[in-house]
Amino acid sequence: MADTPRDTTRGAGTVARILVVGGGYVGLYTALWLQRKLRAGEAAITVVSPDPYMTYQPFLSEAAAGNISPRHVVVPLRRVLDACTVVVGEATAVSHAERTVTVRTAASMEDGTGTFGMPYDELVLAPGSVARTLPVPGLAEHGLGFRTVEEAIGLRNHVIEQLDIASSTRDPDVLEAALTFVVVGGGYAGVEALAELQDMAAYTTRYYHNLKAEDLRWVLVEPEARILPEVGEEMGDYAVRELRRRNVDVRLETRLVSCEGRVAHLSDGTVLPTRTLVWTAGVRPNPLVGATDLPRDAEGRLVCTAQLRVAGTEHAWAAGDAAAVPDLAAAEEGALCVPDAQHAVRQAKTLAANITASLHGQPLGEYRHAHAGSVASLGLHEGVAYVHGRRLKGYPAWLLHRVYHLSRVPTFNRKARVLAEWTLSGLFKREIVSLGSLEHPRAEFESAAGREPPGGPGRR
């Protein structure tokens, strides 16, 4: 645990220790703004994140489709935050009373130290959210998530692998399960993932002598009466019609009841043998929030003021998916900001400005942002958008989706690379290989050394 006592005596001329927990939207942008705003020697900014990169999640579906390389969907923290210290590790607890975050890193676990304490003067807690799972039998064993670049690429490989299995089996049960793809959750993560993967898989069947695009069954399961609430009812209805036109089986007001033994049972009585069950049914705050002595609301989010301070505290700040931030621009009183990237990025700017102001003894500002709207892709050349009260669909919405996200992805370097990849993918044929073997890099060598590869023979 902490080996450095709480510093309550920071006086003029001392360096403020700012500890940012999380290297996502809020963590990256807060640290970036702080390193720009604070004078050299004024503060020591440290970012703790389990990954050395920030993931631009809206591009995950394009990475899964093979339109963007995985490494261009992520932003290296060390390169962007060149005036900060980046610690690749996981915060496991926060004692704000002691001004200490407990952290573990791969090195501390390996050398036997276990966890260690990192003291701070100012804390920015931004660990984001995790998938909101339900106690559905079989989900933990067979469900696939779609929040990280590893999951997106794993899913791409998995889908192509199912085509290989289907193409080479004579067993009708194996064939049916391999060619049935179930996605649970009709928010933008689920819809964009399904639409892009369906497009990619349908295209890939051209290269199989015994498979056709019509042989693939894609099912979208959504408990509510509509999908994509972010783009409004009219555009949500359009998205349902468009997906159904493409033979996607959209089940509204339907829940996944169980998926034991790789068979999905839906609440409308449908039984779907499937080897692919993607779960994108909402998020909940990162469990780290529960391991702090900071105030939380009923949903488990950190209770924040509009100044992005954790309520009732000094020197603790939060924003993004893990924080309950008042939405001052909303018509209803007491409304909170929804967990999305638009708020996260803008909150980070206010947060950094307020930390700077507080260090300089200046007044703090409040976070206020009127939501501009949302855009969602429905696969290549198809999309829906609701922006500043205007509705767009089809190609214009898809183009807007690309332009918007290109303008938003951090760093000029990433923008240029993504643009180059989009241009090239328009000129050449899609990539159709599964590199699932990348997940088992030692398999070839182990096999040569006489050991069975993980997952059994043929799993390389």
- CB-based contacts of 269, cutoff 8 Å, min separation 6: none
Q: Does 342 bind ligand FAD (CB under 6 A)?
A: yes
Residues 266-305 that bind ligand FAD (CB under 6 A): 286, 288
- Burial class of residue 284 (count of CB atoms within 10 Å of its CB; 0-12, 13-18, 19+): middle
Query: Which residue lies nearer to ligand FAD by CB, 128 or 179?
Result: 128
Look-up of token digits 């950190």 = 302
Query: Which residue lies nearer to ligand FAD by CB, 21 or 166?
Result: 21
- CB-based contacts of 424, cutoff 8 Å, min separation 6: none
Name the residue number minimizing CB distance to ligand FAD.
24
Of the candidates 279, 225, 280, the residue with the CA atom closest to the CA atom of residue 254: 225
* Rounded least distance, CB 128 to ligand FAD, Å: 3
Query: Which residue lies nearer to ligand FAD by CB, 128 or 205?
Result: 128
Query: Which residue lies nearer to ligand FAD by CB, 147 or 158?
Result: 147
Tokens of residue 240, six digits = 């349902």
Dist CA 360 CA 358 (whole Å)? 5
Please list the residues that pair with 377 across neighbouring strands: 383
Q: Which one of 6, 37, 50, 399 is in contact with ligand FAD (CB under 6 A)?
A: 50
Q: Does 373 bind ligand FAD (CB under 6 A)?
A: no
Q: Which one of 188, 238, 279, 317 is in contact with ligand FAD (CB under 6 A)?
A: 188
Q: Which one of 2, 93, 263, 341 is in contact with ligand FAD (CB under 6 A)?
A: 341
Q: Which one of 16, 20, 45, 48 is in contact with ligand FAD (CB under 6 A)?
A: 48
Dist CA 18 CA 74 (whole Å)? 24
Q: Does 146 bind ligand FAD (CB under 6 A)?
A: yes
Query: Which residue lies nearer to ligand FAD by CB, 105 or 270?
Result: 105
* Rounded least distance, CB 1 to ligand FAD, Å: 16
Q: Does 58 bind ligand FAD (CB under 6 A)?
A: yes
Look-up of token digits 């050299």 = 40
Query: Which residue lies nearer to ligand FAD by CB, 61 or 204?
Result: 61
Q: Does 27 bind ligand FAD (CB under 6 A)?
A: yes
For the chain, what's the residue count? 460
Query: Which residue lies nearer to ligand FAD by CB, 21 or 175?
Result: 21
Q: Does 23 bind ligand FAD (CB under 6 A)?
A: yes
With H, G, I as helix, E, B as strand and everything else as coil, classify residue 320.
Answer: helix
| Phi, psi torsion values for 303, nearest 5 degrees | -75, 120
- Burial class of residue 21 (count of CB atoms within 10 Å of its CB; 0-12, 13-18, 19+): buried
Q: Does 120 bind ligand FAD (CB under 6 A)?
A: no
Of the candidates 33, 372, 297, 59, the residue with the CA atom closest to the CA atom of residue 188: 59
- CB-based contacts of 191, cutoff 8 Å, min separation 6: 220, 227, 228, 239, 243, 376, 378
Query: Which residue lies nearer to ligand FAD by CB, 276 or 286?
Result: 286
* Rounded least distance, CB 353 to ligand FAD, Å: 17
* Rounded least distance, CB 270 to ligand FAD, Å: 26
Q: Does 154 bind ligand FAD (CB under 6 A)?
A: no
Dist CA 172 CA 77 (whole Å)? 48
Of the candidates 440, 432, 458, 442, the residue with the CA atom closest to the CA atom of residue 159: 432
Look-up of token digits 């000094």 = 314
Of the candidates 243, 241, 244, 272, the residue with the CA atom closest to the CA atom of residue 256: 272
Q: Which one of 16, 24, 313, 327 is in contact with ligand FAD (CB under 6 A)?
A: 24
Report the Cα 298 to chain-centroid distance in Å: 23
Among the residue ranges 36-44, 112-120, 336-344, 350-358, the one whose residues contact ligand FAD (CB under 6 A):
336-344
Of the candidates 52, 71, 64, the residue with the CA atom closest to the CA atom of residue 409: 71
Q: Does 185 bind ligand FAD (CB under 6 A)?
A: no
Among the residue ranges 25-33, 114-122, 172-180, 201-209, the one whose residues contact ligand FAD (CB under 6 A):
25-33
* Rounded least distance, CB 106 to ligand FAD, Å: 13
Tokens of residue 364, six digits = 């703090």
**Which residues contact ligand FAD (rule: CB under 6 A)?**
21-27, 48-51, 57-58, 60, 90-91, 126-128, 146-147, 188-189, 286, 288, 320-322, 339-342, 344
